[in-house]
Structure 1
Amino acid sequence: MSPPVDRVTPSANLPAAADVVVIGGGIAGVSTALALLRKGHSVVLCEKGRIAGEQSSRNWGWCRAMGRDSREIPLIQESLRIWKGLDRVVEADVGFRQCGILYLCENEAEMQGYEPWLEHARRHQIGSRLISADETRKVMPGLERRIAGALYTPTDGRAEPAIAAPAIARAVQALGGTVMTDCAVRTVETAAGRVSGVVTEKGPVACQAVVLAGGAWSRLFCGNLGLSLPQLKVLGSVLRTHRLDGAPETSAAGSDFAFRKRADGGYSVAHGGLSTAEITPDSFRLFGAFLPAFLKEWRSVRLHLGRQFVDEWRWKRRWNAEEATPFEAVRVLDPAPNHRLLDTALASLRKAHPAFAGAVEAQRWGGLIDVTPDAVPVISDVAAVPGFFLATGFSGHGFGIGPGAGRLMADLVAGDDPVVDPAPFRFSRFSDGSRVTVEAGF
């Protein structure tokens, strides 16, 4: 079941031409469209379902620098800068608050495990620090779990996933951009060796560049273009509570729960230490590429073989512009959550903090996260198809980093100086012989 998401009224007409077509109405896609419009480019954004219908509305809602892969730190710093002023830009409250985030440590070994990452924090002046158990309880009064301390970043924050991307999409429309929903892009057309347009289910659009921000669908779309994008899916499971007074403002994660306060006064809750990897046909096709990541993170991953395998086995992998696509057959990915993980998370949270003892669950949902072999996104041009760009593979980090990713993607499309070094996010790292490395996941 999908969480409630703000609705975006689609634009009335599909233009015959634009400078850029953006495929995908999640946080990365709408942020890219907005950044391009602010640079003076005409934009058509096409979403096969509804804006923020998938993982962009189903995530935890954290906007964090803490614990990031070091390659992402400059980009999240740019994202946090954008988040702070986003209300003014989109003329709406997207719920961003600098509430601070705690990573609770149950023993000294966990505390020491964060020391290497703190070197990155010091270099980038993030402000993260290790604090004692007593200091942790000052930040989060009432915490009853036995802990050794916590990794704490007071400048990290939260925003509202169900509100943010829709608000940005409406700002795109206000600046003259086109936002189409229930409008799948079937394929990309080329002329003279570069992108010349797209064909959607509602007709063609001539353009000079295409940005694919398709989330969990990106690998399938790329495959039809003859491009191999190494990307798999991880199931994220989240629940929300009804309004709960007296509970913490600061967000936190422990070994078996994570939470953040919502704008409606309730809380989003997830398991802090485990995720579910969906076994699909691509799991076997990409076994070698993802083996190093699995060997490093196997303790925090639970494999699941279910309906998703059968569904993807049946999907067409090749089609032409006149054929209906899997994107039209399945408008919104809406998987069932892992109920066992959510039951554990809520029970553990109730024991850890008395304010949650009376928490009443309102809803739970699942979402499919697009992951890469090194858990770092692809924000890049594609050399084999000039004019085609990728913004995908955010590996569960995409909501907080989305605004900065959109800014970087717009810079690359426009040929401007990039806001941060794009080299760590290049698509070619998976095929040019580069060593693909996996940093410890936090």
Structure 2
Amino acid sequence: MPTSISCDVLIIGGGAVGTSVARGVAERGGDAMLLEAASIGNGSTAKAAGMFRSQFSTLETAHFAARSVPVFEALERQIGIGLHQPGYLLLGGADYREKLEQAADNAERFDTPVTRYEGQECRNRLPTLCDDAVSFGTEVTTDGYADPYLFATAQAQAVREAGATIHTNTPVTDLSISDGRIEAVTAGDLCIRPQTVVNAAGVWAPRICSMAGVSLPISPIRTFAVTSPVSLDDSPMVLSLDHNVYYREEPGGGSLIGGPISGQTADPDAYDGSVSLDILLELGERVARVDSRFVDMEIERSWAGLKAATPDGMPIIGAHTAVPNLITAAGYNGHGFMLSPGVGEAVSALALGESPFVSLSPFSPARFADRDSQNQHTRIGLS
């Protein structure tokens, strides 16, 4: 017979977002419990590139980012999460100038210094830049990358130290609904009776919502990354919006290149983690059109991950009208790791009935209620 227990807030998903929410609840004095179907940081988090940036074209997302960077820096001092801060240079042609300007303005709203470059100044900043179409660029020198797995496990350690409970290898199998609310959650040999449930299950989030009879417009989209021996010589990380590709240094030498290739969906439980030759060639051609150092580059490793894509490129964060004690915090379109500390802070407040530091209305699940098209946003976005 299942063991019956109760808690204030039950968090489903032990990745970067789930552990951040659980930490926030526990440190606010709430009785938190986290369920992870496998091990901490084992899902999409483990295959993320680990990059973070301060510039987003949506003010609220930029606010998440501004609250996240200090957490990365603090964890690096306290425990070590592989933090490097070479800066992040965002590049675009004329079509992207307005969004880049908005993203820079938003970062500056939170006291983050941003340097703006016109076309030739971009080439002066990055002499190996070979994309003549670039007309504008912005850079934040404190942006960088860390190890997402080390981050998630560090957050989980903080969760335990704050007195919360984590159950790994404990997949959720059922949500019991009574009078429009989640009454109980079945997971393994546990029957949990929470006041509030936070669905931070990433690409598995639609499956959790479906157990409550709620539709969630998130699709698992394959994304790809490769490593190369090409040295970046302390260059900043780079995102080319025109070519839908990013690259950064690797801490042991060489470089990492990544980006989505198509809107190809996959089963998160049984997707192909390998990268075909045509995708390798496409990714190599994209980055070589941006930076001359990657012309005829060799490839050392390659892998495929999944991002939780939404129709408008923005995450889904908030309670569901039909099931008000179910809060979803998922659908970050590849930005989950970089926003996770800020999201964790906001969602933990919401779950405990407090006011978050930022308005969550732009991310509400209700924004998709009357939308016919469920086409997913598959480019690297600034939202």
The alignment's TM-score, normalised by the length of structure 2, stands at 0.84
Displacement of 1:150 = 4.0
Q: How many Å separate the matches in 2 of 1:52 and 1:167?
A: 10
In 2, are the aligned partners of 1:193 and 1:386 still within 8 Å (CA)?
Answer: yes
In 2, are the aligned partners of 1:238 and 1:364 still within 8 Å (CA)?
Answer: yes
After superposition, residues 387-402 of structure 1 pair within 5 angstroms as 387-402=325-340
Out of 249, 266, 275, the residue aligned to residue 261 of structure 1 is: 249
Cα deviations across residues 327-362 of structure 1 (Å, max 9, x unaligned)?
9xx4x7554345423333335546765655796533
Q: How many Å separate the matches in 2 of 1:59 and 1:195?
A: 32
SS of residue paired to 1:152: strand
Is 1:431 the counterpart of 2:343? The answer is no
After superposition, residues 247-326 of structure 1 pair within 5 angstroms as 247-254=233-240, 255=243, 257-271=245-259, 275-279=261-265, 308=266
Change (3 A) 1:417 1:338: farther
In 2, are the aligned partners of 1:429 and 1:436 still within 8 Å (CA)?
Answer: no
Equivalence for 2:29: 40
Change (3 A) 1:15 1:402: farther
Equivalence for 1:114: 97
Equivalence for 2:341: 403
Counting matched residue pairs gives 372
Q: How many Å separate the matches in 2 of 1:175 and 1:358?
A: 51
Change (3 A) 1:434 1:149: same
Identity among equivalent positions (%) equals 25
Q: How many Å separate the matches in 2 of 1:252 and 1:216?
A: 26
In 2, are the aligned partners of 1:237 and 1:338 still within 8 Å (CA)?
Answer: no
SS of residue paired to 1:411: helix
Equivalence for 1:296: none
Change (3 A) 1:432 1:111: closer
What letter corresponds to residue 349 of structure 2 in structure 1? Answer: D
What letter corresponds to residue 303 of structure 2 in structure 1? Answer: W
Equivalence for 2:351: 413
Out of 59, 63, 66, the residue aligned to residue 52 of structure 2 is: 63
Q: How many Å separate the matches in 1 of 2:187 and 2:218?
A: 24
In 2, are the aligned partners of 1:145 and 1:353 still within 8 Å (CA)?
Answer: yes
Out of 280, 298, 306, the residue aligned to residue 342 of structure 1 is: 280
Larger relative strand fraction: 2
Cα deviations across residues 96-149 of structure 1 (Å, max 9, x unaligned)?
3332222334xxxx1463135414532552544541354334433544554545
What letter corresponds to residue 335 of structure 2 in structure 1? Answer: H
In 1, are the aligned partners of 2:176 and 2:184 still within 8 Å (CA)?
Answer: yes
Moved more, 387-396 or 248-257: 248-257
Q: How many Å separate the matches in 1 of 2:234 and 2:284?
A: 15
Q: How many Å separate the matches in 2 of 1:253 and 1:340?
A: 22
What letter corresponds to residue 395 of structure 1 in structure 2? Answer: N
In 2, are the aligned partners of 1:256 and 1:344 still within 8 Å (CA)?
Answer: no
Displacement of 1:47 = 1.2
After superposition, residues 81-100 of structure 1 pair within 5 angstroms as 81-88=70-77, 91-100=78-87
Cα deviations across residues 27-77 of structure 1 (Å, max 9, x unaligned)?
111110111111112222111122222222223322123344445222222
CA RMSD of the aligned region, Å?
A: 3.3
Displacement of 1:417 = 1.8
Out of 120, 123, 132, the residue aligned to residue 118 of structure 2 is: 132
What letter corresponds to residue 98 of structure 2 in structure 1? Answer: E
Q: How many Å separate the matches in 1 of 2:59 and 2:375?
A: 12
In 1, are the aligned partners of 2:275 and 2:303 still within 8 Å (CA)?
Answer: yes
Moved more, 372-381 or 408-417: 372-381
Is 1:164 the counterpart of 2:151? The answer is yes
SS of residue paired to 1:198: strand
Change (3 A) 1:436 1:44: same
Equivalence for 2:167: 180
The alignment's TM-score, normalised by the length of structure 1, stands at 0.73
Change (3 A) 1:435 1:348: closer
Equivalence for 2:360: 422
Is 1:198 the counterpart of 2:181? The answer is no
Q: Which sections of structure 1, spanning at least 5 residues, go unmatched?
A: 1-13, 280-307, 313-326
Q: How many Å separate the matches in 1 of 2:102 and 2:294?
A: 35
In 2, are the aligned partners of 1:31 and 1:168 still within 8 Å (CA)?
Answer: yes
In 2, are the aligned partners of 1:241 and 1:361 still within 8 Å (CA)?
Answer: yes
Change (3 A) 1:359 1:57: farther
Displacement of 1:409 = 0.7
Q: How many Å separate the matches in 1 of 2:70 and 2:159?
A: 19
In 2, are the aligned partners of 1:219 and 1:230 still within 8 Å (CA)?
Answer: yes
Q: Which sections of structure 2, spanning at least 5 residues, go unmatched?
A: none
Q: How many Å separate the matches in 2 of 1:221 and 1:353?
A: 42
Change (3 A) 1:387 1:256: closer
Is 1:225 the counterpart of 2:212? The answer is yes
Q: How many Å separate the matches in 1 of 2:362 and 2:276?
A: 32
Q: How many Å separate the matches in 2 of 1:247 and 1:133?
A: 22
Displacement of 1:212 = 0.8
Equivalence for 2:195: 208
